[in-house]
Amino acid sequence: MSNRLRLNSIVTAATLGLALSVGQGLVADDAEKSSALTIDHLVGMKTPRDVQLSPEGDWVAYVVSRNDMKKDRGFSQIWMTSTDGKTTLPMTASYASASSPRWNPDGTTLAFMGKRGNDKDAKSQVWLLNRMGGEAQQYTNVKQGVSGFAWSPDGTRMVLTVRDPEPEEDDEKNKAGKDSPKPWVIDRLQFKQDYVGYLDRRRTHFYLFDGDGEPEQITFGDYDDRHPQWSPDGTRIAFTSKRDGDPDANTNSDIWVVSAAEGLAERPLTQVTTNKGTDANPAWAPDGKTIAYTTTVEPEKFWYATDHLAVIEASGGGTAQLLTKDYDRMISNPIFSSDGSAVYFTAADGGNRPLMKVDVSSGQLETVTEGELSVRGYNMLGDDLIATVQSSHHKPANVVLLKGSNSVQVTSLNADLLDGVTLGNVERLKVAGWNGDMVESFVYYPPDYEIGTPYPTVFVLHGGPVGQHDTSFDAWGQLYAANGYIAVLPNPHGSSGYGQPFTYALNRQWGVPDFADVDAVAEHMVSSGLSDPEKLGVGGWSYGGILTNYVITKSNRFAGAVTGASVVNHLANYGHDMYQNTWEAEFGFPWEPNADLDAIDIFSKLGNVTTPTLVMGGKEDWNVPIQNSEQIYQVLKRRGIDTQLVVYPGEHHGFRRPSFQVDRYNRYLNWYKKHVKGE
């Protein structure tokens, strides 16, 4: 589970450096040539993100994430490629980790986040690279570290995102080391978070910094502030914050504006939005008069509600204009066009993830990136040059530039790694599911697929529940296909991309419509002769694991299952995971009688399970705590069902350690090989 119960993988590392030689290609070190996709290929892949165009439009900077198997850790490195695609340069060293590249608007420097040295306790700071050459220079020296930054439009200042420091007495105690631990003293409603741990009253606020002296704090209070965006004239900063009552008790974030003037004795805030749902991701119009943002206008539907796009007057007190009222799809990442007449955004739309734009006056929608592809991030310079991160079923992510009507791929990060590898063909399948609604799946076929032969088949269930399998490169689908399975990746009720009614159907009905959908797809695969009815497997992570639990308690058609980081005892999770708000919003208070919650209880149905089931999770997962995996394992083991429990030390909801990623891939394959293929 994550914000929408999605699996998030976080990679961090220390040290940073600079290398200005021309790159030799971003190729995995150890992957061997193979005609079939292997686990080595998957862990050897490099993934780009956070594309940033230079002010002149001649370069695009981006982060490349990779695994280092020898050091058993992940790294993120900043590269830049000329927009003609002819030159690629590494901007930080391969043995370091760096992130968030941001060009100074004057084009002279490239700022980024990173750490220096091998000190595990080193804090992340902002560093500057001079485009004329030389080593990276540390720009900030904030004791507790910096978690984000943004340049002012004139390039003379930054707004820094910084968490409050520990009280001096606690800081002194920390210096005593691990032999003198102190207790956690907790008084917040939201008191824990995955990857963070127990939460105290320290909050995240904004500071102004011009490179000299101490940063100046400009937001305050028992609230967290995020998404800072400078106004075009550099006088104001728009941001997102939950300031309605106790921020731990609701999801009501709003857009606020604060003055960016220096040295103010008082710094009043302007509340721009008053919607009771989640308003976030502000983006200024070029004239500074309006702000575009994402909004949830039906907060009572919490995570099942559609994230729409709206614009509103930046001065506050205005009425929001909903631009995507008739476009019932989850949208994200709004950016105004250069003339302010349109807003660009990405969307989850029926298994695709296109870049879109909408005309502010008419509401007319236009799809910028047509076809079977997924856009995971973008950056704009005017309207005629857009840098995107794109992938598709048969192409892992790369940096692709949109130049007018032309699309130009300027990186080939995994070309050498996948040279000679034959991938499985992918087709869309639509089957009538729960209540007759059409349910879409992506079906991956083995590269040597023979028509007319029933194949062992694995169902890959996505997390969320509000997420979707889409047209991006899917490691699991291709890995199963390479190992002789048909892989079915369904988008059952609860998935995004198919409209709010389709998503909201899962409300208070976990395991009801979505199980019916998966079962209907499985029946179709068998009855059509595609799948061997004696050789079906099912598995997933996070909500995918939860749905797997429902499947094996309701059906015995599957010969093997893998459930990862899943919920099995809903009541036991309240106060133990980090979702107390969500449990209350969807199911009410757990100490009160609730027939809906009783009806979807998994724990009491585990006596129905006959499917051999592999159970796994991260030891430190506070998103979906490992106690769930322990409980389902205990029941299955006690009942004599073939099962194993695999607990990964030091891991949270998403896995950092490459060796554990390899181990998990292998355990999935071996379990299905034994129980689905019967080998």
C-alpha–C-alpha distance, residues 46 and 414, integer Å: 7
At 373-430, the pLDDT tens digits run: 999 999 999 889 999 999 999 999 999 999 988 999 999 999 999 999 999 999 999 9
User: Rounded CA gap, 603 and 508, in Å?
Assistant: 16
Cβ pair 226, 204 in contact under 8 A: yes
- Per the model's pLDDT, the better-predicted residue between 53 and 167 turns out to be 53
Residue 4 has pLDDT above 50, yes or no: no
CA–CA gap between residue 305 and residue 514 (Å, rounded) = 17
Cα–Cα distance, 651 to 659 (Å, whole number):
12
pLDDT of residue 26: 36
pLDDT category, 117, cuts 50, 70, 90? low
Give yes or no for a contact between 503 and 494, defined as CB atoms under 8 angstroms apart: yes
Parallel, antiparallel or unpaired: strands 321-322 and 308-313: antiparallel
What is the residue-wise DSSP string for 267-336?
--EEE----SS-EEEEEE-TTSSEEEEEE-S-GGGGGGS--EEEEEETTSS---EETTTT--SEEEEEEE
Write out the two tokens for 303: 């995570």
Q: What are phi and psi of 629, to 5 degrees?
A: -65, -40
Q: Residue 96 to residues 18, 29, 48, 142: CA-CA distances in angstroms?
A: 9, 16, 16, 20
Per-residue pLDDT of 144-185, as tens digits, reads 999 999 999 999 999 999 999 988 755 555 555 567 788 888
Buried b (16+ CB within 10 A) or exposed e, 474-496: bbbbbbbbbbebbbbbbbbbbbb
pLDDT at 27: 36
Q: Residue 404: what pLDDT? A: 86
Is the backbone of residue 651 left (phi > 0), alpha (psi -120 to 50) or beta? beta
DSSP string computed for 145-177? ---EEEE-TTSS-EEEEEEPPPPHHHHHHHTT-
The domains found in the chain, sorted by start residue, are 1-139+379-421 (no CATH), 426-675 (3.40.50.1820)
Query: Quick one: pLDDT band at residue 116, thresholds 50, 70, 90?
Result: confident
Size (the chain), residues? 679
Mean pLDDT, residues 263-282: 94
Report pLDDT for 118.
64
Question: Comparing 381 with 4, which gets the higher pLDDT?
Answer: 381
Please give the pLDDT value at position 18.
30
DSSP state of 436: G
* pLDDT score of 611: 98
3 pLDDT band, cuts 50/70/90, is: very low
CA distance 479 to 38: 7
Say which residues have a Cβ less than 8 Å from residue 245's Cβ, sequence separation at least 6. Answer: none
pLDDT value of position 177? 58
**Is the CA virtual torsion 216, 218, 219, 221 positive or negative?**
positive
How far is the C-alpha of 375 from the C-alpha of 407, rounded, in Å? 13
pTM greater than 0.85 (yes/no): yes
Residue 32 reports pLDDT greater than 70: no
Which pLDDT tens digit goes with each residue over 446-458? Answer: 999 999 999 999 9
More confident site: 575 or 454: 454
C-alpha Rg value of the chain to the nearest Å:
25
- Residue 45, pLDDT > 80, answer yes
Cα maximum dimension of the chain: 77
What is the pLDDT, as a whole number, of residue 29? 42
- Asked whether residue 497 carries a pLDDT value surpassing 70, the answer given is yes
Joined tokens for residue 174: 């920390």
Please name every residue paired with 391 in a beta bridge, in sequence order, or none if there are none: 374
pLDDT of residue 248: 86
Report residue 538 CA to chain centroid gap. 23
Say which residue the tokens 């904030």 belong to: 142
The mean per-residue pLDDT over the stretch 495-506 comes to 96
Question: Mean pLDDT, the chain, as a whole number?
Answer: 91
Bridge partners (DSSP) listed for residue 597? none
Residue 11 has pLDDT above 50, yes or no: no
Percent of residues, the chain, with pLDDT higher than 90: 78
Q: What is the pLDDT of residues 597-640, one digit of tens each?
A: 899 999 999 999 999 999 999 999 999 999 999 999 999 999 99
| Distance separating alpha carbons of residues 380 and 110, to the nearest angstrom | 17
Contact between 509 and 592 under an 8 Å Cβ cutoff? The reply is: no
Residue with more model confidence, 250 or 234: 234
Instruction: Compute the average pLDDT of residues 515-521.
Output: 98
Q: Find residue 151's DSSP bridge partners.
A: 158
The conformational region for residue 134 under phi > 0 = left, psi -120 to 50 = alpha, else beta, is: left
What is the DSSP-derived secondary structure letter of residue 23? P
- pLDDT above 80 for 24: no
